[in-house]
Amino acid sequence: MDTDYDQKMHQRYGAPLLTIHKADLQLALINRAKELGVEFRLGDWLKDVNSDVPEVITISGERFPCDLVVGADGLWSRCRECFLGTQDKPNATGDLYRIMLRLKDIPDQDLRDLVAKPGLNFWLGPDCRVIAYSIRSGELYNSVLLRPDDLPAEVAKREGSTEEMKALFANWDPTCVPPAAFIHIHPIRLILTFNSACSDSWALSLR
């Protein structure tokens, strides 16, 4: 068992290893950006980037002239497609089950200890792996169980089958998969993807 992973990461990357709820991180970033005068416009989608003007065009038809476009629209990025000039779908690399536990719902003392103690846990095994960590100072525990991809090509997300998940991890360390008492919290099953187009070749600047 590797118990000084955080120190190794600190040595390698020169920064501490932290676990944080994505919603909390986004809120912190939004609040800081607002303090700095950034204006947010929600409920619209980027349709096109016109690098001749330059400007971005949204699906509602609004046009925003700009000096710099930062494309941060995720794996199915429309922004990236505009720069590449071609469709750019991510590749499926596996599926995952995701389960979120709340400390207040857990009677089992061993699991409470695991959830309440800030930490990051990895389990590696044949074809699968599990990453689980405490967030919000031990109030929440996020479990991600990765498995080979066999979702149909057109499905990116669906409710996971608890039975299927338990069968797949049946011979694993029981702490990987939350005990039966918590399995009424249905796991979400999602596709995991990787995008190979992100190379130096698409780092373009607008005129």
Ligand X SMILES: Cc1cc2nc3c(=O)[nH]c(=O)nc-3n(C[C@H](O)[C@H](O)[C@H](O)COP(=O)(O)OP(=O)(O)OC[C@H]3O[C@@H](n4cnc5c(N)ncnc54)[C@H](O)[C@@H]3O)c2cc1C
Q: Which of residues 76-95 bind ligand X (CB under 6 A)?
A: 78
User: Which is catalytic among the residues 98, 112, 129, 136?
Assistant: 98
Q: How far is the CB of 100 from ligand X (least distance, A)?
A: 10
Q: How many residues bind ligand X (CB under 6 A)?
A: 10
DSSP assignment of the chain, as one string?
Answer: ----HHHHHHHHHSS------HHHHHHHHHHHHHHTTPPP--S--EEEEETTTTEEEETTS-EEE-S-------TT-HHHHHHHTS--PPEEEEEEEEEEEEGGG---HHHHHHHHS--EEEEE-SS-EEEEEEEGGGTEEEEEEEE---S-TT-SEEEPPHHHHHHHTTTS-TTTS--GGGTTSPPEEEEEEE-TT-SGGG-----
CB of 166 to ligand X, least distance (A): 19
Single out the residue of 92, 144, 197, 206 in contact with ligand X (rule: CB under 6 A). Answer: 144
Residue of 51, 71, 90, 98 interacting with ligand X (CB under 6 A): 98
102 is catalytic: no
C-beta of residue 41 within 8 angstroms of C-beta of residue 27: no
Q: Which is nearer to ligand X, 41 or 109 (CB)?
A: 41
Stretch of 3-11, 73-81, 85-93, 119-127 lying at the interface with ligand X (CB under 6 A): 73-81
Query: Is residue 45 a contact residue for ligand X (CB under 6 A)?
Result: yes
* 190 makes contact with ligand X (CB under 6 A): yes
Residue 100 sits in the site that holds ligand X (CB under 6 A)? no
The span from the CA of 201 to the CA of 56, in Å, is: 21
Q: Does 72 bind ligand X (CB under 6 A)?
A: yes
Choice from 62, 73, 105, 108 touching ligand X (CB under 6 A): 73
Task: Give catalytic residue positions.
Answer: 98
Q: By the criterion CB under 6 A, which residues form the site for ligand X?
A: 22, 45-46, 72-74, 78, 98, 144, 190
